[in-house]
Amino acid sequence: MSEPTANGTRRLIDGEMRVYYDGYWIKHYDPPIDTLETRKGLIQALTRRLFNHVEFGINIPGNRLDAARAAYQAETDTERKRVNGAMLAGALFNRATDIFTCLVDLQSSGIEITPDNTLMRECGQCLMEALDLGKMVRHRGGDEGIDELWGEPFKAYSIPIEAFYESRYLKMAMTMRDIDRIGTGLKDAFSNSTQITMIAPRVDALAEAGKRKCEMLRTDPGIFRVWPSYVVARERLCNIQPRLPAAPDAATIREALEGARLIREGTDLVTNIVRARVPMPKSTREFLDRCHQFRQALSRANSTRSPRSPKS
């Protein structure tokens, strides 16, 4: 028996360098030169990335941290307190980023910053509290918060740039696995459907295009090929039409509507995951549960239909 491929293995495949992680060969990019300016730019980009994917209104400047904390502590309504907690998480995250960028500027001036530096400790405390409060933050689509994004600026500051980029490949493999799981769940949900048929090729096209988009940097020339492919695959899946009988009953119409909604939810979830390039385990798990429930309901409906009833 051949030895299993080790994570981190690199191989030239179809003219492209790829790196292996947890079952996936992912497009590999050489990391940028590890300089203080590179770290500063990366930290700022990671901060923009976080706020680009979470709910509106929580990008509170770090200099308003005290006001955000006071508002959170004073709020008594449970629902409003969640929002105040999300705003406090945003302020803490921005405060940590402000400290990071200042530390980089100090280091570029030749000032040594040790791990036990007061600012480093404050930065770590801000990020830890932001990570905890981040559980209150929702994705912009209304689902879970994306915990994976909260700790990335600290990693970008504290470990070599090359190690940071390698850690992203592992998360990318987890992301691709979620995309594949969603695709499998959708195909299984409609495997016995007489209304929505031939869905598997469209689901496979969406999953494949989604994984290619997930692994590709925006600066890669291939983006002009991969992104259109993903958009078209998404539209083709969403536009699939149920095959209804001439005189459908209420149960048949309900099945068609629920099936269309399930497809739309699945494509939306894949899009959110592809854009964020991190797994969304809670949303994926809940969606797969809905796929299973739809398949069970479909099986019960099929078993109660008369053999003489029209199939399409």
2-36 pLDDT per residue, tens: 688 999 999 999 999 999 999 999 999 999 998 87
Same domain for 141 and 205: no
Q: Does some domain include residue 267?
A: yes
Q: Does some domain include residue 4?
A: no
Residues facing 27 on adjacent strands: 18
Same domain for 270 and 147: no
Residues facing 21 on adjacent strands: 24
pLDDT at 104: 81
pLDDT at 43: 82
The residue among 39, 284, 258 whose CA lies nearest residue 141 is: 284
Q: Does some domain include residue 206?
A: yes
Same domain for 300 and 185: yes
Q: What is the mean pLDDT of the chain?
A: 88
State which of 107, 135, 158 marks the end of a domain. 158
Cα 42 from chain centroid (whole Å): 19
Q: Does some domain include residue 10?
A: no
How many domains is the chain partitioned into structurally? 2
Q: Does some domain include residue 274?
A: yes
Same domain for 238 and 196: yes
Same domain for 173 and 300: yes
The 10s digit of each residue's pLDDT in 145-191 is: 666 677 677 777 778 889 988 888 999 999 999 999 999 999 999 99
Is pTM beyond 0.85 here? no
The answer to whether the CB of 226 falls within 8 A of the CB of 209 is yes
Q: What is the mean pLDDT of residues 245-263?
A: 85
| Domain membership of residue 80 as a residue range | 38-158
Same domain for 193 and 98: no
Same domain for 276 and 198: yes
The sign one gets for the Cα dihedral 156, 211, 23, 289 is: positive
The residue among 294, 74, 45, 287 whose CA lies nearest residue 165 is: 45
Percent of the chain with pLDDT over 90: 49
Same domain for 184 and 289: yes
